Amino acid sequence: MESKKDAPLLPKHALECIPQVDFCRTALDLAWHALSESIFNHCIRVFLIARWLARKEASEWSEEGRLPLLFVACICHDLGTSNIYNGSQRFEVEGADAAERHLLSHGLSESESRKVWVAIALHTSPGIAERIDPLTRLVRFGVMMDFSQATREAMGAVGYTTEIEIYLPRLDIEKVLGDSVVSQATGPHERPDCLTWPSSEKHPKGSWPGLLLRAHLENPNHEGVNPAF
């Protein structure tokens, strides 16, 4: 596979929306080098959508001083699906840990860094992420609107999401992301040929990674988007 260029390749409109502070620029670089283009584009779209929603709702997270944390939460929310950040925990927690370490290393407070941790760790937790705090809610809705036409329609975001997909193409994100999560669960330390449930913190039974893994184990020859996506 052709290696990426040193700097992220983003359209002008997307670049202009990214907060121009050091920890945002370096978080963007982390994501660019860790993620596939498909997942990277998804993370940028999630930020743009979450920013759009924050502005629509006049949220404090649309303000100049708060927007950088929203950006880091969005751009880092799938870091745990990459090989670089593939640890023993489920991908949401690995990504949350990586983002928190990044922010702390740039001098942000523990409380601010923990807000981002929570937003990333819970972004696949329906019914909790929407209600636990405003930042986590924005990240959750950014993800849902990028994947769900019904959510886009309910939030009045169809026009905007269609617009940004023109210059940030989807590139089969549903299949790429689902396959990335499953490939971590069925790595060399697991038994991908076995239909019994592997015991691992990487994919607890009730979690989204666990549901993706179960669907894969039940139909390992399926070639399309994971049925549990």
8 Å CB contact between 52 and 164: no
Return the pLDDT at 9. 78
- Six-digit token string for 95: 């990504």
**DSSP-derived secondary structure for the chain:** -PPPPSS----HHHHHHS--SHHHHHHHHHHHHHS-HHHHHHHHHHHHHHHHHHHHTT-GGGSTTTHHHHHHHHHTTTGGGSSTT--SS-HHHHHHHHHHHHHHHTT--HHHHHHHHHHHHTTT-TTTHHHH-HHHHHHHHHHHHHH-HHHHHHHT-HHHHHHHHHHS--SSHHHHHHHHHHHHHTSTTS-TT--SPP--TTS-TTSHHHHHHHHHHHSTT--SS-TT-
Return the pLDDT at 129. 98
Give the number of other Cβ atoms within 10 Å of residue 58's Cβ: 8
Return the pLDDT at 67. 98
Return the pLDDT at 201. 82
pLDDT mean for each 10 residues of the chain (229 residues): 66 93 97 97 98 98 98 98 95 98 98 98 97 98 98 98 97 98 76 48 90 94 94
User: Whole-model pTM above 0.75?
Assistant: yes
Return the pLDDT at 188. 58
Hey, what domains does the chain have and what are their CATH numbers? 12-171 (1.10.3210.10), 174-218 (no CATH)
Return the pLDDT at 194. 44
Return the pLDDT at 3. 54
